[in-house]
Amino acid sequence: MNENESEQTAGILRSQGAQPCSHAEDSDIIIINTCAVREKPVEKLFSLLGRLQHIKKKNNACIGVTGCVAQLFKNEISQRNQSVDFVVGPDNLWKIPEIISSLSQSSSCIIHTPRNRQWREIEPIARKNHISGYVSVMKGCNHFCTYCVVPFAKGREKYRPLPYIKAEIKDLAEKGFKEIHLLGQNVNSYQDPESGKDFVSLLKEISPIKGIEWIRFITSHPKNFTSDIIKTMAETEKICHQLHLPIQSGSDAILRYMGRGYTRQQYLEKIGLLKENMPDISLSTDIIVGFPKETEKDFSETLSVLKQVQYTNIFSFRYSKRPHTAALKYTEEVPFEIKKQRLIQLQELQRRIQLKANQSLIGTQMKVLCMGKSTKNQNSYFGRNEGFQVVNFESASDVTGKFVTLEITDCGPYSLIGRT
């Protein structure tokens, strides 16, 4: 979602005549789009701002901060770093040109972070590639999981009107895009503001759009992930048999403390239904280790979910405290060293699962959408299969943007190697 918002910001600037440049040293405008989900990217922002001070001194570049850290830490950003000219929240990207124009009249940092309860269209979007496009369908979240800062940073859920979504996808198809990713913090709770049509209707209405061959969506919440969505995925040819379904923990006690709204059993029943309807489905998840009160037994229950589900990929993190969240009241913290050890153990287990699964694909054939040339070798390309795995391969002709059928010849835990 942040990549998509960066593309939107770039689109806004380009529509005003700005051009991209490759080095920060040569820029007149530098905008840092930020994520606040974890603690580390926030720290990185402050260290980056420190490093940018010399550019400010050298060519008086205009420096702005956007995104969730901007929304949550606006005052700290402007107070801690004198080189920042403006701070704009995630609901207000459209305001950037006006703010930049007014900078000459303002000697202090301009902060603009009001909440917008309605969807606001932003165009044009300066897309990074012309093969696979992000399409926002909603923003924000109403769930308030106890560890998560998103509802405070992005606000409550707002849904994009269905006609805008369809128009954007048609436009991408006409431009030659082959794949789309529907984006939102909680795509399954989508509701068209005009007609009230739900996520299943959205999938059904966009799937006939000619030219788009693969449809993906992220992120799904297990609580809102219905059997109707599973049925639609199984019955609609263009919807990839691939799903990111965050579990966060395999322990019922921890899921309850996290306020996730489902049990381990309910989650696993949905996984069972997905596999029953799409035996080839590729699944990924998010895991937080070291959430307050997490015991060895709780952690071993998370490991057992990995063994049972056999995810194609996981995104795993050590718990970090986030501002405003309900979990701040939990005093039973897991020591840093234990969190670190658990993360290593979890990732090592998943590495072994992935390697074994990837080895079983050697000798099989698969359809891959080529995303471009590899930077290492002139004849090497990389792409993604339907399960969203990276496949590297050699080709005598340039097949960027095309579907190719590859035979898998080798693999590692995190990617596959194929040949045409």
> From the list 139, 158, 181, 221, which residue makes contact with ligand SF4 (rule: CB under 6 A)?
221
Count, residues near ligand SF4 per rule CB under 6 A: 10
Burial tier of 85 (Cβ tally within 10 Å: 0-12, 13-18, 19+): buried
Residue 255: which H helix or E strand, with range? helix 252-258
Is 141 a residue that touches ligand SF4 (CB under 6 A)?
yes
User: What's the token pair of residue 184?
Assistant: 């939102």
Q: Tell whether residue 244 is a contact of ligand SF4 (CB under 6 A).
A: no
User: Does 271 sit near ligand SF4 (CB under 6 A)?
Assistant: no
Residue 189 as a binder of ligand SF4 (CB under 6 A): the answer is: no
Q: Give the nearer residue to ligand SF4 in terms of CB position, either 145 or 391.
A: 145
* Residue from the set 78, 83, 132, 186 that interacts with ligand SF4 by CB under 6 A: 186
Q: Give min distance, CB of 143 to ligand SF4, in A.
A: 4
Task: Measure the CA–CA gap between 414 and 311, rounded to whole angstroms.
Answer: 12
Nearer to ligand SF4, 261 or 401 (CB): 261
Nearest distance in Å: CB 330, ligand SF4: 16
Which position among 145, 183, 353, 369 is part of the footprint of ligand SF4 (CB under 6 A)? Answer: 145
Q: For 166, list phi and psi in degrees, rounded to 5.
A: -65, -40
The distance of closest approach from Cβ of residue 375 to ligand SF4 in the complex, given in angstroms and rounded to an integer, is 33
Piece in contact with ligand SF4 (CB under 6 A), picked from 20-28, 147-155, 299-307, 403-411: 147-155
With contact defined as beta carbons under 8 Å apart, do 177 and 169 qualify? no
Task: Kindly state whether residue 90 participates in binding ligand SF4, applying the rule CB under 6 A.
Answer: no
- For β-strands 179-183 and 132-136, DSSP reports them as parallel
Question: Whose structure tokens read 């165009």?
Answer: 123
Query: Nearest-5° angle of CA 409, CA 415, CA 418?
Result: 25
Residue closer to ligand SF4 by CB (options 246, 383) is: 246
317 binds ligand SF4 (CB under 6 A): no
Question: What's the min distance (Å) between Cβ of 289 and ligand SF4?
Answer: 15
Regarding 151 and contact with ligand SF4 (CB under 6 A), the answer is yes
Instruction: Provide CB contacts within 8 A for 410, sequence distance 6+.
Output: 362, 416, 417
Residue 143 binding ligand SF4, by CB under 6 A: yes
Instruction: Based on the shown chain and the rule CB under 6 A, indicate whether residue 150 belongs to the binding site for ligand SF4.
Output: yes
What angle, 0 to 180 degrees and rounded to 10, lies between the N-to-C axes of helices 264-277 and 296-309? 10
Query: Would you call 137 helix, strand, or coil by DSSP?
Result: coil
Contacts by residues 375-379 (CB-CB < 8 Å, ≥ 24 positions apart):
none
Alpha-carbon distances, residue 110 vs 79, 82, 91, 176, 292 (angstroms): 12, 12, 15, 40, 38
Please report whether residue 148 would count as binding ligand SF4 according to CB under 6 A.
Answer: yes
Give the nearest distance from C-beta 294 to ligand SF4 in angstroms: 17
Which residues of the shown chain bind ligand SF4 in the complex (CB under 6 A)? 141, 143-145, 148, 150-151, 185-186, 221
